[in-house]
């Protein structure tokens, strides 16, 4: 078996793309999207029709409603291809507004229900701010499963698990980018700070019995992926999926529940003051969280512009 097929025996492989045609070849179980990926996709001729059709059918609705309809439309197309779940993101401009995030999460799920898709096949993606975590906690109580994204710090991860969220997405590659820039070192394997972060989170969750799934995300190279073989899930771009499929090597499990449960660790918990202090103390996590929100907001505004243009606004 090639590396991708071997990895699938150890970890749930997720496609990280809005280009649903590109994922057909790799047979992932789940798929994730974000504003940047959807923006990229609607810029391709084969997907422009989804934008135009959405606007034509609901032209009189506000832009934010049209955007949710567009995201759900992509999600529905993806769910025709994969057997599992799709992640659809709440507007990053709501990252510090708990009530608005809850309302938007419900609206996204309502749009899926209108399309005949049940909430068990959707993960609502929310930024892992304190406000986002509180929103996800309520959404989970309401039966809406959440994927907490833009996650860089250990405190963010533990707070999410305490809130009972379904899944978190620690950003391996962006953590690596920050340390590489600071230290001028091309980290690999065991020394990669992004890999180390996910391993720490995974081990802590399994040791203390948290049900929250860990999905490594934002990979820069195949080495990072293979170093996390055995993680609950890994979301991987089509480019790296292709590299894995072409790679002939033995893939060994690097994470496993049995070993994690034997780890000698101290339990920790995070209330709001400790969460905010921990995030402030972690320069990488606070920098990358703020940067990530800004980047998603920038692309959300660009997507707004495309919708306005499509309806002649």
Q: Which residues contact 33 (CB under 8 A, 6 or more apart)?
A: 17, 18, 71, 74, 75, 78, 86, 87, 88, 89
Distance of CA 199 to the CA centre of its chain: 17
- Number of residues that this document lists for the chain: 313
Q: Which residues are identified as catalytic?
A: 125
Q: Which residue has the tokens 């949710």?
A: 68
Q: Among 156, 124, 153, which Cα is nearest to 138's?
A: 124
Q: Among 3, 24, 75, 79, which Cα is nearest to 247's?
A: 3
Strand partners, 264: none
**Rg of the chain, C-alpha, whole Å:** 19
């Amino acid at each position: 078996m090639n590396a991708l097929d071997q990895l699938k025996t150890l970890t749930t492989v997720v496609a990280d793309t809005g280009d649903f045609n590109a994922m057909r070849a790799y047979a992932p179980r789940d798929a994730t999207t974000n504003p940047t990926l959807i923006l990229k996709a609607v810029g391709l001729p084969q997907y422009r029709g989804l934008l135009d059709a959405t606007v034509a059918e609901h032209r009189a609705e506000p832009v934010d409603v049209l955007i949710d309809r567009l995201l759900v439309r992509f999600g529905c197309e993806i769910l025709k291809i994969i057997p599992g779940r799709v992640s659809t993101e709440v507007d990053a401009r709501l990252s510090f507004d708990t009530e608005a995030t809850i309302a938007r999460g419900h609206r996204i799920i309502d749009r899926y229900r209108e399309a005949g898709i049940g909430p068990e096949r959707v993960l609502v993606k929310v930024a892992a701010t304190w406000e986002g975590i509180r929103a996800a906690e309520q959404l989970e109580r309401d039966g809406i499963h959440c994927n907490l994204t833009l996650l860089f710090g250990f405190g963010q991860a533990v707070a999410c698990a305490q809130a009972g969220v379904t899944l978190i997405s620690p950003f391996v590659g962006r953590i690596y980018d920050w340390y590489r820039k600071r230290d001028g070192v091309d980290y690999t394997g065991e020394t990669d700070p992004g890999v180390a972060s996910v391993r720490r989170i995974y081990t802590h969750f399994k040791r203390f019995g948290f049900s929250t799934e860990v999905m490594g995300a934002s990979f820069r190279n195949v080495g990072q992926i293979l170093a996390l073989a055995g993680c609950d899930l890994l979301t991987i771009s089509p480019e790296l999926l292709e590299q894995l499929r072409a790679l002939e090597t033995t893939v060994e499990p690097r994470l496993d529940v049995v070993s994690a449960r034997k780890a000698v660790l101290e339990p920790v918990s995070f209330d709001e003051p400790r969460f905010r202090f921990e995030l402030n103390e972690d320069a990488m996590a606070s920098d990358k969280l703020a940067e990530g929100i800004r980047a998603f907001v920038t692309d959300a505004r660009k997507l707004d512009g495309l919708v306005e243009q499509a309806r002649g606004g």
